[in-house]
Each structure stands twice: as C-alpha cells, then as structure tokens.
C-alpha cells in the first residue's frame, strides 16, 4: 500500500510542522489548508484519505465543514481535533457529520498516530469489503448465466461444501 | 444484530462499576471480571466481541492477559485501561500485544464510548471480510469443479473471468 494522504485543516500554520513530526513523513503525505474553503478545494483536486480538522477553523463551522466532506467524499475518514468534548458537540459530530474520531486537545503524538492509523485501517477494510463484494457478485452473475445455459451443472453450483482457507 | 458482548477486567470494583455505567447506556452486554485469570474463564464460557482490561492487576498483568486472549481468540478486539503514569507501557503494548487502543484513566465518557463503538465496528468488518473471503473461495472451487467436469463449458472468454477470481 502506498502512502496515505492526510489533509490537515487548521488556522495555525505551525500546527502542520507539529503534525508532520508526530506522524512522520515516511508513511504519510501531509497537506495543509488554513480554512474550510481551502480544505474543500484541496479535496476536489487531490486524493485525500483522512481529514484532520481543528474544531475552531475559520470561515466555516467545523461541523459544517466535516458534514460537507462526508457528503461529498463519503470514503474520506474525518477526525476532529476538539477543544472540548461535550455531549452535544460529540453527538452532533458523530450523527450529523459522520466524524470517525475525536482527539481532545492538547493531543500527544501517540494518540494522534494511533487514531490516524485506526482510521486508515477502517477505510482500507471498507474498500476491501467492497472489492470482495464486487468480485462475488460478478462470479454469481457468471454462475447464473452458466447454469441457465448448461442446466446440468446445477449440482456443482448448489453443492454444500465447506471451504478451508 | 444481537447485543455486543464486552468483557471488562479490573481488580478494582469501582472501575468495573464506572466502566459498566459508561457502556450500559449504549446497550451492550457487559461482563466483568476481577483478574486476568477470571477473564480467561469468562472467555471460555461466553462469546466476547471486545475486552477492556486494566494493565496493573493482581496475578497476570493486563498486557499478558490481553496477549493470551488475542492469541486464543484473534477476532476479539482488545483495549487497555491505564493510569497516566503507565502510559509508556501502554504505548509499547499496542504493537506488542496487538492492542486496538488504550484508554487513560480517568476517561472521558464520550471518548470511551466512541472508542468502543469504533472498535466494534472494526470487529464487525473483520468478521464480514472473513465471511466474504470464504464465499469467494467457495466460488473459486465451484469454477474449478465445473472446469474439471465439463472442460468445454468454460470457454476462453469465460475462463479468463473465472481465473481472474484467484
């Protein structure tokens, strides 16, 4: 698997350096946007795996931004760097904005790394599941076609077999 | 889907109660155990989706317990509870013992719940993936048998499609 791309959306430029230091640039390409609008432009123009957004971004409410991201790019995993994790915000973020995880500020490198890597793991799992489902569906269609054409193979197709993997 | 079962292991009753309180509202089946040894007994008797275990306990340590549990039941997701002072140990354990995540005490309720939800979601995906891989293997076997019994059926055009599933 190639490098994963993380889009960091934060008002403060120096956060990028801190996040680069925490995640390391070997496994991640990290790009930076200073507000929600810029972040959306980035998403349009680049392949992004994870969006890491600060709760207090400018120009746009963070939850509003993350809701748009989820709606337009459902495969992108979103993580919110939260100043506060009160019940309402958290609930809204999960239910309305589909936020994958919160990281409470001040965060530490380890928390950030593990949350990002779990987010990617989740994303890869979804992609893999989709791929498997497509393959199975393709095979099913083909088997149906074959059975229609050669009815005598139905015993093979509908056998009860156990498979060891 | 039935209720997910979570095993919480800690030698302090207060923590067990707190964890059960945090989780119950989200409607899980919560089983508690007071040591790693007791936890292993529970695992024999109940199908468990997720374990939340303290690190520092009488008897075997949390890491040891989670390692054994993960080895015996690889599909279970494990989360470690830790005091702030033992955070270093916890970080090491994530890779070493295949731990999903750790939660530092005292925990934030929303964070605890979100962590557990995401962990269960992953576990569900892992099981679904296993099932799909099995189904795919079965289809592959069927294609092989068709090819063997009726070599004329899978013409080159079709054959390519079937082989592509390997």
Nearest residue on chain B to A109, alpha-carbon basis: B91
pLDDT of residue A162: 62
Identify the CA nearest to B123 among candidates B162, B63, B46, B70: B70
Which residues on chain B are in Cβ contact (under 8 Å) with A85? Answer: 108, 110-111
In the predicted model, what is the mean pLDDT of residues B142-153? Answer: 89
Confirm or reject contact between A85 and chain B (CB < 8 A).
Answer: yes
Mind listing the pLDDT tens digit for each residue in B37-60? 999 999 999 999 999 999 999 999
Nearest residue on chain A to B165, alpha-carbon basis: A135
Nearest-CA distance B14 → chain A (Å): 23
Which stretch of DSSP H or E encloses residue A28?
strand A28-33
Mind listing the pLDDT tens digit for each residue in B7-35? 999 999 999 999 999 997 668 999 999 99
| Cβ neighbour number for residue B109 with a 10 Å cutoff | 16
Say whether A85 and B108 touch across the interface (CB within 8 A): yes
pLDDT of residue A152: 86
Beta bridge partners of A51: A7, A78
Among the partner-chain residues B118, B122, B136, the one whose CB lies closest to the CB of A132 is B136
Instruction: Determine the 3-state secondary structure of A13 from DSSP.
Output: coil
Contact (Cβ atoms closer than 8 angstroms) between residue A121 and residue A129: no
Mind listing the pLDDT tens digit for each residue in B75-111? 999 999 998 777 777 777 887 888 999 898 999 888 8
Which residues on chain B are in Cβ contact (under 8 Å) with A129? Answer: 125, 128-129, 132
Confirm or reject contact between A110 and chain B (CB < 8 A).
Answer: yes
Q: What is the pTM of this model?
A: 0.86
Which residues on chain B are in Cβ contact (under 8 Å) with A125? Answer: 122, 125-126, 129
pLDDT of residue B64: 94
Cα A67 from Cα A5, distance rounded (Å): 20
Mind listing the pLDDT tens digit for each residue in A34-64? 999 999 999 999 999 999 999 988 778 899 9
pLDDT of residue B166: 42
Return the DSSP state at B85: G
Where do the domains of chain A lie, and which CATH numbers do they carry? 4-126 (3.40.50.2300)
Which stretch of DSSP H or E encloses residue B78?
strand B77-82
pLDDT of residue A156: 86
Nearest residue on chain A to B140, alpha-carbon basis: A139
Cα B55 from Cα B135, distance rounded (Å): 39
Confirm or reject contact between A141 and chain B (CB < 8 A).
Answer: no
Which stretch of DSSP H or E encloses residue B160?
helix B156-163
Local confidence pLDDT in tens for the 165 residues of chain A:
579 999 999 988 888 899 999 999 889 999 999 999 999 999 999 999 999 999 988 778 899 999 999 999 999 999 999 887 777 888 888 888 999 998 988 888 888 999 999 999 999 999 999 999 999 999 999 999 999 998 888 888 887 766 655
Among the partner-chain residues A94, A135, A152, the one whose CB lies closest to the CB of B136 is A135
Among the partner-chain residues A85, A101, A165, the one whose CB lies closest to the CB of B134 is A165
Which residues on chain B are in Cβ contact (under 8 Å) with A114? Answer: 94, 101
pLDDT of residue A96: 86
Q: Outline where DSSP puts E strands in chain B.
A: 5-9, 29-33, 50-54, 77-82, 101-104
Identify the CA nearest to A62 among candidates A29, A44, A32, A40: A40
pLDDT of residue B154: 78
C-alpha dihedral sign at A28, A29, A35, A37: negative
Which residues on chain A are in Cβ contact (under 8 Å) with B129? Answer: 125, 128-129, 132
């Amino acid at each position: 698997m190639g490098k994963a791309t993380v889009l960091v959306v934060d008002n403060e430029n120096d956060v990028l350096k801190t996040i680069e230091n925490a995640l390391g640039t070997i496994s991640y390409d990290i790009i930076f946007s200073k507000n929600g609008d810029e972040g959306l432009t980035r998403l349009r123009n680049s392949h992004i795996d994870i969006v890491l957004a600060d709760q207090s971004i400018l120009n746009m409410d963070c939850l509003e931004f993350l809701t748009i991201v989820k709606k337009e790019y459902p495969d992108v995993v979103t993580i919110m760097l939260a100043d506060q994790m009160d019940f309402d915000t958290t609930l809204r973020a999960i239910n309305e904005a589909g936020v994958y995880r919160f990281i409470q500020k001040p965060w530490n490198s380890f928390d950030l790394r593990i949350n990002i890597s779990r987010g990617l793991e989740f994303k890869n799992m979804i992609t893999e599941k989709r791929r498997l489902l497509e393959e199975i569906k393709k095979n099913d269609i083909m088997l149906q076609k074959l059975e229609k054409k050669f009815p005598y193979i139905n015993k093979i197709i509908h056998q009860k077999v156990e498979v060891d993997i | 889907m039935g209720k997910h079962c979570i095993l919480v292991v800690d030698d302090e009753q207060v923590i067990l109660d707190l964890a059960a309180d945090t989780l119950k509202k989200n409607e899980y089946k919560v089983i508690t155990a007071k040591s790693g040894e007791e936890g292993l007994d529970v695992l024999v008797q109940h199908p468990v989706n997720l374990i939340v275990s303290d690190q520092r306990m009488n008897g075997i340590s949390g890491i040891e317990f989670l390692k054994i549990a993960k080895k015996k039941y690889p599909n279970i997701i494990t989360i470690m509870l830790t005091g702030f002072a033992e955070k270093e140990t916890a970080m090491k354990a994530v890779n070493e013992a295949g731990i999903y995540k750790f939660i530092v005490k005292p925990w934030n309720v929303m964070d605890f719940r979100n962590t557990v939800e995401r962990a269960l979601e992953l576990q569900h995906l892992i099981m679904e993936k296993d099932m799909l891989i099995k189904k795919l293997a079965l289809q592959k076997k069927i294609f092989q048998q068709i090819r063997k019994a009726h070599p004329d059926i899978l013409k080159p055009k079709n054959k390519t499609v079937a082989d592509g599933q390997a």
